Every structure is written in C-alpha cells, then in structure tokens.
Amino acid sequence: MKQNNFFIIAITFVATLGGLLFGYDTAVISGAEKSVQAFLIDSQGLSTLVHGLTISSALIGCIIGGGISGIFASKIGRKRSLMIAAFLFFLSALGSGYPEFLFFEKGKATMALLYMFNFYRIVGGIGVGMASAIVPMYIGEISPAEIRGRLVSLNQFTIIFGMLVVYFVNWGISNGQTIEWVNTIGWRRMFLSEAIPAGLFGILLFFVPETPRYLVLKQKDNEALRILEKINGPSRAKEILNDIKSTVEHHSGKLFSYGKVVIVIGVLLSVFQQFVGINVALYYAPRIFESMGAGKDASMLQTVVMGLINVIFTVVAILTVDKWGRKPLMMVGSIGMAIGMFAIAGLAFFEIIGISTLVFIIVYTASFMMSWGPICWVLISEIFPNKIRGRAVAVAVVAQWAANYFISSTYPSMMEFSGAVTYGFYGVMSVLSFFFVWKMVPETKGKTLEEMEHIWKK
C-alpha cells in the first residue's frame, strides 16, 4: 500500500504543477504591469482603457481555454490536454518576455507589437483556462475516493503557492535595480521566468498515466485495469473497473443526458465562488488597504499577511475536507465570508478605517480559503458523471471565468457609487451561497465517482 501512496502522490504532484502555473501566469503581470504600461502604452500616448484591456487580456484566453477544455479532454484525453496547456504556458512565457521575436525591432514600441504582446498573454490565458478545468478533473479521476478531497484541494494550494512564488520572483528581479532597468529588461525576465516551471511541467507529464476513466471511455480496459491496480491494488481494481464500465454504458454522453440539475449545480458553484467577491480581495488588496488609510509600503505588507493567511487556511481545508465532508466546510465558509463582508460594509458606511478593517478582510479571506476556494474545485471534479465530465467541467469553468471577469471589472465603478453597497452585495452573495449548498449540493465525501452517478440517475 505504501508504494501505491507514493505513486498517487507523485502523479498528483505532477498534475498540480498545472495549478502552480495557473497561479504563476495570472499573478506574473502584477510585477510587470507598470513597466508594460511605460513601454507599450504611455510611449504611444494610448488611453487607460487600452492599458486595462492589455493587463486583463489573459482573462479572455482563460474563457476560451475553459470552453475548449471539454472538447480536448474528451477527444484526446486528460494527459495530452495538459501537455498542450504546458506548451501554451511555455510559448506565452517566451513570447510575453520577448514579443519582438522574428517580426519586430527590439525595444521599439508600435501598435503591432502591442497586439503581439496581447496575443501571447491570451495564449497563456488559454493554458490557464485549460489547466483550471483539466487538473482537478485529472486528479479527481485518478484518486481513491477516501483521499480524493485532499488531493484535489492540493490544486488550490499550488495555485495560491504559484502566486506567492511569482511575487518573490518579481521582487527578486527588481530588487536593487533602477526603474529604467526594470522598464527595459526586468519586466521581460519576469515573464520569461515562467518558462522554467512550464518546461518542467511539460517534461514530467510524459511520465504520468492517462486516467482510468478516460481509458474505459475509449475501450482500453486492460490499460485502465493496469493503472487501477497500481493505485488501488488488484482486488479493488477489478471492482472499480466494473463500476466505471457500467456507468459508461448507460448513457449517450450528451450534456443533459443526466438532467439539467447537475449542470445547474456545477455552474452555480462556479458563479458563487466568484460572486462572493474573492478576486476583488486578491486583485485589489493593496488598493483596498491604501484606500483604508495604509501607506504604500504598509499596504504591500498587509497583502503579504493576506497571502500567508491564504496558504494557512487552504492547508486547513486539505486536512479536513475528507474528515468533515464538503458541505459542512462550504456552509461554515459562507457564514464566515458573510460576517466579514457585512462588517466591512458597515465600517465603510461609517467611514471607519483601521486595524478592524484588516481583521474582517482576514476573517473573510480565511473563510473563503478553507471552504469555497479549494472545495468548489473538489466538487466540480466529483459531481459530474463519467460520460459527460469533460464537457460539463468545461461549462462550469467558462461560467467561473466569465463571473470572475464580470466581478473584477465592475468593482471600480461599484466602489465609485458606494463602498458600503459594494461590500454589502458580496455579503448577500455569501448568504445565498450558504442556502444554495444547504439545499442543492449533494455530499460527496467518501463516495466513488461511480456512486455519485447514481444520485443523478434518479
């Protein structure tokens, strides 16, 4: 059994590098953003709208990547789809760092070069969108039921860890250098640094197996049995293989062949994960703290404190998800988020700024990181039946990136209208997320993916 655990942990580690790159790619722009603005936007006298679109262009790729992930996962498999994502990460890292490659004069900003830079960022976004859908699916399909929650939660940990790593990389590149150097060379190295984990991810994927569920879908039963034996032992492997085969034979594989409820639950899990406002807290943290009276240096320090809180409470989720179950953690998290957001809304209404605001932001983010952050991905990887999982996960992930884009882009104008109303809205969403989990989401703790299928067959 020891050898099995080592094998499971090794392939999970390789898969979670996709999560690390997801975090790395989405956060690398934070250190390079001002230099990109100086080099590509301000030098050409372009507007702040162009700046905003350039900085968030990767999100367009994320929506595309999420959308096509289901087609790729179903047609060429989970493993090969991750290989494509790794190649896209690698290409984006090189292209974003050196967008002049082949066609342009180095260091000369033009509109065509700006388009090229955005193209490479969108390519990276497609990699993020594919990884965000396929990594949890891959881990979920390869994990034994008893530890699946913990293993899929590791993906969220590596996303947060990837963000933390790139903050330190960006800081290391720019530390002790002049602004001129960062604006000409430093920002390029920030993007290029992603090629190292992307290359490692691509190479290591050659050594991991395809998932047994996908192999059965493609009538490769012997190959599936061999991998199941390596993971679960010979006697349990045959039992699981028979379960998988029975579920694969029962349905046509059309998206709604198990009814609409399972798809609606998957989409609402994704939408609520964004509508509670977490990405506002992550993307705009330094700005939030500055608007609450912290100086620039203090606001960056408070962001680091939040980063550490994120990591600690994601670990709490990993350690408890298979003991307490998914629903209790999600519901407790919803209550904690509601308390945090309503308190911040109240403080904003009375214009009280200070340590109390930081405390409630920490209550809010800690509640999210021990619940909706990792466990939403666990549920998305678990609740869909084998035959429709590829396409259904893709639908849920597109909904998530679209909701992310909507919430992130409306935040500045909502704050202009009223801070209290903005944070109050996220508080209301947290309350609604509690009732949604309580009434609609099934408990999946300890169930095999095939046992989950019987819930929807009814």
Contacts of 396 (CB under 8 A, 6+ apart): 133, 266, 267, 269, 270, 380
Whether residues 164 and 260 share a domain: the answer is: no
Note whether 192 and 269 are same-domain residues: no
Domain-ending residue, one of 208, 240, 274:
208
Query: Over the stretch 199-215, which tens digit does the pLDDT of each residue have?
Result: 999 999 999 999 999 99
Q: Please tell me the total count of domains within the chain.
A: 2
% pLDDT > 90, the chain: 47
Dihedral sign (CA 8, 9, 11, 16): positive
Task: Identify the band that residue 386 occupies on the pLDDT scale cut at 50, 70 and 90.
Answer: confident
pTM of the model: 0.83
Task: Flag whether 215 is in a domain.
Answer: no
Are 192 and 60 in a shared domain?
A: yes
Residue 243 belongs to a domain: no
Whether 244 maps to a domain, the answer reads no
Same-domain check for residues 190 and 265: no
Residue 118 CB neighbour total at 10 angstroms: 21
Q: For 377-406, what is the mean pLDDT?
A: 89
Which one of 171, 188, 208 terminates a domain? 208
Residues 174 and 64 in one domain: yes
Let me know whether 281 and 430 are in one domain. yes
400 and 265 within one domain: yes
- Do 291 and 405 share a domain, yes or no? yes
Q: Does residue 165 sit in the same domain as residue 21?
A: yes
Last residue of a domain, one of 175, 208, 241: 208
- Is position 230 within any domain? no
pLDDT number for residue 369: 92
User: Do residues 156 and 293 share a domain?
Assistant: no
Cα–Cα dist 30/173, whole Å: 13
Q: Supply the range of the domain harboring residue 304.
A: 256-457
Question: Could you tell me if 172 and 34 lie in one domain?
Answer: yes
Contact 145, 444 (CB under 8 A): no
SS3 category, 310: helix
**Would 236 be classed as within a structural domain?**
no
User: pLDDT of 75-126, one tens digit each?
Assistant: 999 999 999 999 999 999 999 999 988 787 787 878 889 999 999 999 999 9
DSSP per-residue string spanning 57-113: HHHHHHHHHHHHHHHHHHHT-HHHHHHHHHHHHHHHHHHHH-TTTTTS-TT---HHH
The pLDDT of residue 458: 62
Q: Which of 443, 457, 444, 456 is nearest to 140 (CA)?
A: 444
List the CATH number of the domain containing 277. 1.20.1250.20
Q: Is residue 223 part of a domain?
A: no
